[in-house]
Amino acid sequence: MKNTKGFTLIEMLVVVAIVAILGSMALAGYSKYVQSARRADAMDILHEVMSKQLQYYTASSPNTYVTTLSTLGYSSDTVTSRDENYNVTAQVCDGDIRKCVILTATPVGSQADDDCGSFTYSSRQEEGVSGSLSVEQCWR
């Protein structure tokens, strides 16, 4: 009987299957990591817009917030985050624009399926999310 060296086709297919499974697991984990890292983009833009809201509030008479973000110097009433992962809009909270405004950062593009969903931040410094994860998990 002849002693052959090398791998059989079955052995090669098993190795390829194992590598494919490990690769798909790594890719899924990496995608979640990237989404988590991009959440900082939402927090940055929310804090930036809220800072402008507070400046406007203190400078206006009578003191009031705005839902038209173009009033704050932005090119439109929807503000896009620096990395273009979120769009920010403003709404009245408690029915009185003089008392409270809430900003919402809605995820777009590849960030749209993030488990945190939309981020909210109010002039009362209340943080929120609309997705399946908690505020603590998303705003850290």
Q: Read off the pLDDT of residues 101-127 as tens digits, 9 standing for 90 and up.
A: 999 999 999 899 999 999 999 999 999
Burial of 99 (0-12, 13-18, 19+ CB in 10 A): middle
- Match 């503000």 to its residue by tokens: 79
pLDDT digits 0-9 by tens, 3-12: 777 778 888 8
CA–CA gap between residue 134 and residue 70 (Å, rounded): 31
Q: Look up the pTM and report it.
A: 0.80
pLDDT(100) > 90 = yes
On average, the pLDDT of the chain sits at 91
Measured CA distances, 5 to 8, 13, 16, 104 (Å): 9, 17, 19, 64
